[in-house]
Amino acid sequence: MKKIKFLFLLISAFTFAQQSVLEKKINSIIKDKKATVAVSVLGFENGFKYNKNGEKKLPMQSVFKFHIAAAVLDLVDKGKLSLDKKILLDKSNLLENTWSPLRDKYKDKNAEVPLSEIIDQTVAMSDNNGCDILLKLIGGTQTVQKFMDSKGVKGFQIKFNEEEMHKDWQAQYENYSTTNSAVQVLKKFYDGKLLSKKSTDYLMKVMLGTKTGLNKMVEQLPKNTPVARKTGSSGKNKDGLTGAENEIGIVTLPNGKHYAIALFVSNSTETDAVNCKIISDISKSVWDHFNK
């Protein structure tokens, strides 16, 4: 019994030492930055945990499109929706003055596209119109909240869609998550505790193909590192404040192991470039930590 207790204390001391080294690196990155920075890291196989401000409820922005896509795929798993279901795209749901590759592709056309294309564009390209089309299809943000609640996801709230956030800057603060919640929900997703294997594999593939935020989490990682990720960004308001510059993801290491990471930069008066560099630098530090 004493031997087991000693080994436990030894492992605990080693883990604390690892966390302290990472903490110093992250503190040096965010020192003097005029922003709230939250970071959570979860090693899937080794159980390593680290967080800074991990329980702060911060605006998600488009990170919530991961949660929305998962709620849609839950209905696919239940047979209530099909990825082949045709969705009509027209002027009523392809709004102007918002980020929307779907609108740019199908502008001035009434097109019917499969649900799978809407999901792909919403997650991999962070399409705002696609996001609101999905929410309307499943009955609104309350459907996403109920699904996440049913899966035991804590520290998460969704109340407003993209159109509503565009009209009211403060609305984004009602769509919040903690970074601790984000890494935990990614672990549930990876473990197949959110969706069926088929839907898990499908959404994982979509996230691995994410095209946004190339100057954030993946910027300094080795080329072709598999990272299943979702970005989020508020832009700046008239006072020069960034509500959110975010990213969450599952990183596959060269040894085949994995970790989840969530990085939220909130209420920042730094430039967009600095906000993204904070995420990039912290992501590289975490990568280095797992590849010693």
- pLDDT tens for 214-264 read 999 999 999 999 999 999 999 999 999 999 999 999 999 999 999 999 999
Does the pLDDT of residue 13 top 60, yes or no?
no
pLDDT at residue 12, rounded to an integer: 47
Which has the minimum average pLDDT: 83-92, 106-115, 180-189, 208-217?
106-115
H or E segment to which residue 228 belongs: strand 227-233
Compute the average pLDDT of residues 29-54. Answer: 97
Distance CA 93, CA 95 (A): 6
- pLDDT tens for 129-140 read 999 999 999 999
- pLDDT tens for 183-228 read 999 999 999 999 999 999 999 999 999 999 999 999 999 999 999 9
Does the pLDDT of residue 16 top 70, yes or no?
no
Mean pLDDT of the chain: 94
Question: Position 125: which residue type?
Answer: M
Distance CA 129, CA 96 (A): 9
- pLDDT tens for 141-196 read 999 999 999 999 999 999 999 999 999 999 999 999 999 999 999 999 999 999 99
Cβ burial, residue 28 (10 Å; 0-12/13-18/19+): exposed
Radius of gyration of the chain (CA): 19
Which has the minimum average pLDDT: 29-43, 70-84, 94-108, 277-291?
94-108
CB neighbour list of residue 107: distance below 8 Å, 6 or more residues apart: 94
| Domains, the chain | 33-291 (3.40.710.10)
pLDDT at residue 277, rounded to an integer: 98
Model confidence at 108, pLDDT cuts 50, 70, 90, reads confident
pLDDT at residue 19, rounded to an integer: 72
The answer to whether the beta carbons of residues 258 and 251 sit under 8 Å apart is yes
The residue whose two tokens read 């399409």 is 127
Compute the average pLDDT of residues 104-118. Answer: 92
Does the pLDDT of residue 75 top 80, yes or no?
yes
Question: Position 7: which residue type?
Answer: L
The DSSP output letter for 4 is H
pLDDT at residue 3, rounded to an integer: 61
Is 62 a known active-site residue? Answer: yes
Is 162 a known active-site residue? Answer: yes
Q: Which residue out of 40, 100, 117, 162 is catalytically annotated?
A: 162
CB neighbour list of residue 108: distance below 8 Å, 6 or more residues apart: none
pTM across the whole model: 0.93
Distance of CA 227 to the CA centre of its chain: 11
Question: Position 102: which residue type?
Answer: L
